[in-house]
Amino acid sequence: MLKDKVAVVTGGTRGIGYATVKKFLENGAKVVLFGSRQETVEKAVTSLKAENSAWEVSGVWPNLKDVKAVETEINSIKEKYGKIDILVNNAGVSDSTPLDKYTSEQFANIMQLNVNSIMNGILPTVKIMKEQGYGCILNTSSMVSLCGQRSGIGYPTSKSAVNGLTWSLARELGPFNIRVNAVAPGITNTDMVASLPKEMIEPLKAAIPLRRVGEPEDIANAFLFLASDMASYVTGEILSVDGAMRT
């Protein structure tokens, strides 16, 4: 579905990001994954190469909050491959801090990581996509962007901003044949969820109409569809992948 496409995936060393990188590779893409640290990036790339040595995958670890560092890496990818077909903005941070323990610095940091850093990748990538006459930008939103959560206000606020960014960029970039969509995962079996005790997990499952927690591959499948030509007339969508748990 992505044969010979060049994709960049931020937050690609574990969880949803790693599953998305693997899914793209399985479908013929060349992938550059971004991670926060050299050791985690190299571990992810080594793991993927061990599964299939023919996969063309590499990794870098720029500070996503540093616009120049991100621009340098994006331009290097363009120089190497001659194009960038897909950008997946998956890197981010969650939070559940109660309001009475919040600080303005903490709130600003979450917005910086979850919103500003996305723009740091989008700005240089859009220049490349406009030059080549097409492109696909995908963002990771969240179920709580649509319904909120009981604490940790910075996280749903930042993901609501991601939705607004997605809708607006889809309208602005559509005339340049650049599609912009987002995936809004529900509770997903990442490292954080897997570490929760069974007595916490079971009530969560009971609240999900499909009666199970999502798997990273469920989210990766949504990204694959939106990145592929099967979604060539889909833009400005926030695709919920949450088993209908939206309260």
How far apart are alpha carbons 246 and 240 in whole angstroms? 9
Please identify which residue in the block is written with the tokens 């979604």. 231
Q: How many whole angstroms separate alpha carbon 118 and alpha carbon 99?
A: 25
- 182 and 159 in contact (C-beta within 8 Å)? no
Q: What is the DSSP string of 154-171?
A: HHHHHHHHHHHHHHHHHH
> Is 155 considered catalytic here?
yes
Cα(37)–Cα(34) distance, rounded to whole angstroms? Answer: 9
Distance, in Å, from the CA atom of 98 to the CA atom of 170, rounded to the nearest integer, reads: 34
Q: 116-135 b/e with 16+ CB inside 10 Å = b?
A: ebbebbbebbbebbeeeeeb
* Cα-based distances in Å from 35 to 10, 74, 122: 6, 14, 16
Locus of tokens 């194009």: 83
Q: Which of 18, 81, 102, 155 is catalytic?
A: 155
**H-assigned helices in the chain:** 15-26, 38-51, 67-81, 104-111, 117-132, 144-147, 154-173, 191-194, 198-206, 216-227
| Contact assessment for residue 57 and residue 5, using Cβ atoms and an 8 Å cutoff | no
Active site residues: 155
